[in-house]
Amino acid sequence: MRPPFDPTLYLVTDTGLCRPRSVADVVRAVVAAGVTAVQVRDKHASRRELLALTRTVQAAVVDHPGVAVVVNDAVDVAVLADADGVHVGQDDLPVEEVRALIGADRHLGLSVSSAAELDAALALPPGTVDLVGLSPVWETPVKPDAGPALGPARAATLATAARAGGLIAVAIGGITLDRAAEAAATGVDGICVVAAVCPEADPAGAARRLREEIVRGRLAQVAR
Amino acid sequence: MRPPFDPTLYLVTDTGLCRPRSVADVVRAVVAAGVTAVQVRDKHASRRELLALTRTVQAAVVDHPGVAVVVNDAVDVAVLADADGVHVGQDDLPVEEVRALIGADRHLGLSVSSAAELDAALALPPGTVDLVGLSPVWETPVKPDAGPALGPARAATLATAARAGGLIAVAIGGITLDRAAEAAATGVDGICVVAAVCPEADPAGAARRLREEIVRGRLAQVAR
C-alpha cells in the first residue's frame, strides 16, 4: 500500500536555520550522510513558496529513492508535489480528512504530545495514520509554542504503546547531538532533528555523528 | 463543466466582523436577501477550523442551491468540503496547480490588482480561471496589506478587458453602501462586500439595499 518509510534519522527542515545555504543544499548534503527521511516545514512560507521549496527538496534527494519527502501541514502542497507523505499536528486538518485527500499510497504522520492524544491516534481506523511524532521530548527554541516537554521516560512509555498499536514512533523536540543517544534509547523507531542539523557548518558531519549516537542509544536500550 | 456562478452580490465572510453572531447565522440571513455567492475567508483560522467553518456556511445556504460557496485560498479545505470553488490571490498556489487539484467542475477565482496581472490571467489556458477579482477598487481597512486602490475608472477598464477575454469580473475592496452603485457602474459582473454586510446590525437589510444600489449603478452605466 504505502512505500517503505525509514524514520531512523528524520530531518525536519527549517529554512531560516539553513541560511545562508538553501534548504535543498543542506538536504542534499545530509541524505548522503545518513538522513533517512525529510519533512519540509516552513511555517512562514506561503503555499506557493512551500510548493516550490518541496520540489527543490525532492530534486535534492532524487538519487536516494529510499528517502521519503514529507510535507508538514500543507495537504494541498503534498498532493500537488506528489510528495511521499504529510505530517500534521493536532490543530491541522483532522487525520481522517487528510487520509481521504492523500489516498492510500502516501505516508501520514501525526504529532502527539500526551497519552490521550496517542490513545486517540490508536483508536483511528487502521491505516489512517502511519507514524506518531512524540513531541516535544525536550523543550525546543525551534518551536516555542510546543507544549511542555514529555521527557525521555514518558516518551519511552508512549513509544512502546504506539509501536504495540502498529504505529511508527519517532521522538522530536530538543534533540541535540548530546541527547540523540538518550532519545534513541527510548525505543522509538527514529529521531527527528531540526536545529541539530540545519544550522551546522558541516551538516553532513552532524548527520553522521547523529547516526552514531542513534546506534549507541539503541545498543544501550538493548543492554538494559 | 462548471455549475453556474452568479457573482451579482458576492459576500466575502469575515469571522471577526460577524461577531457576536456566527458567520453561518449572517450568511443564512443574507442569502435570503439577495447575496448570490459566498466566499469563506478567515486568515486567522487553522485549516481544521476553516473546514468546520466552511461546512457551517454550506449548511446555511442549503436551501439556496444557486448560491455558490467558495473557499478563500485553502485548496485542501475546498476539496474536502466539496465546495463549489476556490478563490486565490497572487501569492497563493499558482492557478494552474489549483485547477489541477480541484478538477474541472469547480469555480476558480483569482485576485488581480493591475493590468499586468490581468493580462497574465487572460493568457492562461482557457478554463483555468473563471473569475477575476479586481482588487482593491478602494482602500479597505479589512485588508490593509492590499495594494494601492485601483479607483473606479481603472477598475472599469480592467473589467472590460476581463469580460472581453471571457472571464467573470467582480470588484472588491472598500465597497460600502454609498459606493455600491459606483462600483456596479464600472461594468463588472458583480461586487464583493465584506464590511458592508458582516458587522451590520441588520445584514439582510444591508444586502437588500446593496442589491438596489447595484441595479441603480447598472442603470447609470447603461444610460452613459
The model's pLDDT over B110-159, given as tens digits with 9 standing for 90+, comes to 999 999 999 999 999 999 999 999 999 999 877 777 788 999 999 999 99
Give the pLDDT score at B4: 85
A1 inside domain: no
Interchain proximity A48–B91, CB inside 8 Å: yes
Report which DSSP code applies to A102.
H
C-alpha grid cell, residue B62: 442549503
Q: Which residue of chain A is at minimal alpha-carbon distance from B102?
A: A76
| CA neighbor of A171 nearest in space, from A112, A215, A223, A117 | A112
CA pair distance B65, B57, nearest whole angstrom? 13
Domain extent at residue A143: 9-223
**Residue A90 counted as an annotated binding residue:** no
Say which residues have a Cβ less than 8 Å from residue B126's Cβ, sequence separation at least 6.
B166
Per-residue pLDDT, averaged over A45-70, amounts to 97
A4 inside domain: no
Write the single-letter amino acid at B104.
Answer: A
Give the pLDDT score at A76: 96
Q: Among B48, B80, B93, whose Cβ lies nearest the Cβ of A47?
A: B93
CA dihedral B117, B119, B122, B125 (to 10 degrees): -80
Catalytic residue (one of A41, A99, A106, A179): A41
Cβ of B93 under 8 Å from any chain A Cβ? yes
Give the pLDDT score at B1: 67
Binding residues of B: 39-43, 72-73, 92, 111, 143, 174
Chain B neighbours among A 157-186 (CB < 8 Å)? none
B56 inside domain: yes
Average pLDDT over chain A, rounded to whole? 95
Q: How confident is the model at residue A125 (pLDDT cuts 50, 70, 90)?
A: very high
Instruction: Give the other-Cβ count within 10 Å of A157's Cβ.
Output: 16
Cβ of B91 under 8 Å from any chain A Cβ? yes
Interchain proximity B79–A91, CB inside 8 Å: no
Decide if pLDDT at A151 tops 70: yes
CATH number where B179 lies: 3.20.20.70
| CA neighbor of B10 nearest in space, from B121, B127, B171 | B171
Q: How confident is the model at residue A145 (pLDDT cuts 50, 70, 90)?
A: confident
Q: How confident is the model at residue A141 (pLDDT cuts 50, 70, 90)?
A: confident
Assess contact for B51 and A97: CB atoms under 8 A: yes
Q: How confident is the model at residue A1 (pLDDT cuts 50, 70, 90)?
A: low
Catalytic residue status for B22: no
CA pair distance B163, B170, nearest whole angstrom? 10
Assess contact for B100 and B86: CB atoms under 8 A: no
CA pair distance A106, A85, nearest whole angstrom? 5
B16 inside domain: yes
Per-residue pLDDT, averaged over A54-82, amounts to 97
Catalytic residue status for B114: no
If you write DSSP's letter for every residue of A191-203 in order, what string do you get?
EEESTTTTT-SSH
Residue with cell 519540509: A40
pLDDT in tens, A161-171: 999 999 999 99
**Residue A43 counted as an annotated binding residue:** yes
Burial class (CB in 10 A: 0-12, 13-18, 19+), B79: buried
Interchain proximity B80–A100, CB inside 8 Å: yes
Decide if pLDDT at A159 tops 90: yes
Give the pLDDT score at B127: 94
Per-residue pLDDT, averaged over A105-133, amounts to 97
B30 inside domain: yes
Give the pLDDT score at A27: 98
Task: Report the domain count for chain A.
Answer: 1
C-alpha grid cell, residue A83: 510528495
Per-residue pLDDT, averaged over B72-80, amounts to 96
Decide if pLDDT at B23 tops 70: yes
Interchain proximity B94–A46, CB inside 8 Å: no
Catalytic residue status for A143: yes
B195 inside domain: yes
Per-residue pLDDT, averaged over A97-101, amounts to 96
Cβ of A191 under 8 Å from any chain B Cβ? no
